Amino acid sequence: MDVHIEESWKSILQSEFDKPYFEQITEFVKSEIRAGKTVYPQGKLIFNAFEKTPFDKLKVVILGQDPYHGVGQAHGLCFSVQHGVKPPPSLINIYKEINADLGITPPNHGCLEKWTEQGVFMLNSILTVRANEATSHSKIGWQTFTDAVICKISENKTGVVFLLWGNFARSKKTLIDTQKHFVLESAHPSPLAGNAFAGCKHFSKTNNLLEQQGLSPINWDLKDPITN
């Protein structure tokens, strides 16, 4: 199957695109749209995480679960929303931790694209969702695909920092070779987890691990110097 995706990822993932389960995912999403359902994110943004962070540039993985299901929110990057959309509660808690950890003032938006441009791969385990119905596409096969993505990263790269927030993300640790990669685990940043995410210091810890390998740290500051 010919999937429009960034070229370095295409060479890594072509074997998955050729499997029957991936064809079934594609047909399911198309059938939803034919039936008049609204699916997020829009088609050209389903693989946005892959487009923004090429495989050969990847240094850090942040793993989410399900796309946001509200109007204008999802754009293919976990925890991120498009400009002009109010940052959701989990993202606000992420910003609070960055501020506590590194002293960085939160931006006035919820778009995390600047991280992806530095090698942070923002992967949701499920890549589509029906509007206003959380986890509605959780059983159509996306996790088979994204589990394979995690395995490919683990097998083909070294020294990647994986950030696993919450029990769902932490369950993916078994897919990662911890002898050659770094895994940082914490509670989910959702307010439903109380204040358990606070104090994890994953942002400074990530940069320390990158610098130990001679790699440039991530600039977690998302503020636009002109508008903020």
Exactly one of 2, 66, 101, 224 is catalytic; which is it? 66
Rounded-to-integer distance, Cα 186 and Cα 218, Å: 19
Rounded-to-integer distance, Cα 77 and Cα 112, Å: 8
pTM for the structure as a whole: 0.95
Contact 146, 127 (CB under 8 A): yes
> How do residues 108-137 score in pLDDT, each as one tens digit?
999 999 999 999 999 999 999 999 999 999
In one letter, which amino acid is 166? Answer: G
Q: What letter does residue 6 receive in the DSSP assignment? A: -
Which pLDDT score is estimated for 1? 72
Contact 111, 52 (CB under 8 A): no
61 forms beta bridges with: 121, 162
Q: Which of 69-73, 123-127, 198-202 has the lowest mean pLDDT?
A: 69-73
Please compute the mean of the pLDDT values over residues 71-87 and round it to a whole number: 95
Rounded-to-integer distance, Cα 38 and Cα 27, Å: 15
In one letter, which amino acid is 24? Answer: Q
User: Which residues does 58 contact at the CB level (< 8 Å), separation at least 6?
Assistant: 119, 121, 153, 157, 160
Contact 160, 60 (CB under 8 A): yes
124 forms beta bridges with: 64
Please compute the mean of the pLDDT values over residues 60-74 and round it to a whole number: 95
Q: How confident is the model at residue 224 (pLDDT cuts 50, 70, 90)?
A: low
Which pLDDT score is estimated for 2? 75
Which pLDDT score is estimated for 116? 98
Rounded-to-integer distance, Cα 150 and Cα 49, Å: 13
Q: Which two tokens stand for residue 190?
A: 């959702």
Exposed e or buried b per residue across 166-195, where buried means at least 16 C-beta atoms within 10 angstroms of its C-beta: beebbebeebbeeeebbbbebbbbbeebee
The percent of residues in the chain predicted with pLDDT above 90, rounded, is 94
Rounded-to-integer distance, Cα 26 and Cα 3, Å: 10
User: Which residues does 12 contact at the CB level (< 8 Å), separation at least 6?
Assistant: 55, 152, 156
- Average pLDDT in the chain: 95
Rounded-to-integer distance, Cα 105 and Cα 100, Å: 9
56 is catalytic: no
> How do residues 158-181 score in pLDDT, each as one tens digit?
999 999 999 999 999 999 999 999
For residue 102, the SS3 value is helix
